[in-house]
Amino acid sequence: MIQHGLKGVIAAETAISYIDGNKGYLVYRGKEAKEIALNYSFEEAAYFLWYGTFPTKEELASLNQKLKSNRTLPQNIKKIMHLLPQDMELMSVIRTVVSSLGNSQYKWKPTIDEAIQLTAIIPTIIAYWKRKTAGLPPVAPLENYGHVENYLYMLTGNKPLDVHVKALETYMILTLEHGMNASTFSARVTVSTESDMISAITSAIGTMKGPLHGGAPSDVTAMLNEIGTKEKAESWLRAKLEKGERLMGFGHRVYKTKDPRALALKEKAIEVGQDDPWLALALHVEETAIQLLEEYKPGRKLYTNVEFFAAAVMRAINMDEDLFTPTFTASRVVGWSAHVLEQAERNVIFRPESQYVGSLPDIKLKKT
Domain ranges of the chain: 26-213+322-345, 216-316
Please indicate whether residue 307 is annotated as part of the active site.
yes
The structure's pTM equals: 0.88
In three-state secondary structure terms, 314 is helix
Query: What pLDDT score was predicted for residue 212?
Result: 74
Query: What pLDDT score was predicted for residue 367?
Result: 62
Beta bridge partners of 17: 28
Domain 216-316 listed as CATH 1.10.230.10 = yes
Report pLDDT digits (tens) over 263-304.
888 887 777 766 678 778 888 998 899 889 888 888 787 888
- How much is the CA Rg of the chain, to the nearest whole Å? 22
CATH architecture of 26-213+322-345: Orthogonal Bundle (1.10)
Q: How many CB atoms lie within 10 A of CB 290?
A: 16
- Judge contact between 344 and 197, C-beta under 8 A: no
DSSP annotation string for 6-44: GTT------SSEEEETTTTEEEETTEEHHHHHHHS-HHH
Please indicate whether residue 252 is annotated as part of the active site.
yes
DSSP for residue 286:
H
- Judge contact between 25 and 178, C-beta under 8 A: no
Nearest to 327 by CA among 201, 146, 172, 202: 172
Query: What pLDDT score was predicted for residue 10?
Result: 79
Nearest to 95 by CA among 337, 333, 300: 333
Chain center to CA of 209 = 10
Query: What pLDDT score was predicted for residue 56?
Result: 98
- Judge contact between 225 and 277, C-beta under 8 A: no
Q: Which residues of the chain have pLDDT under 70?
A: 21, 214-216, 252-257, 273-275, 364-368
Beta bridge partners of 25: 20
CA dist 287 and 291 (Å) reads: 7
CA dist 266 and 26 (Å) reads: 16
Catalytic residue among 169, 286, 307, 342: 307
Catalytic residue among 147, 164, 178, 252: 252
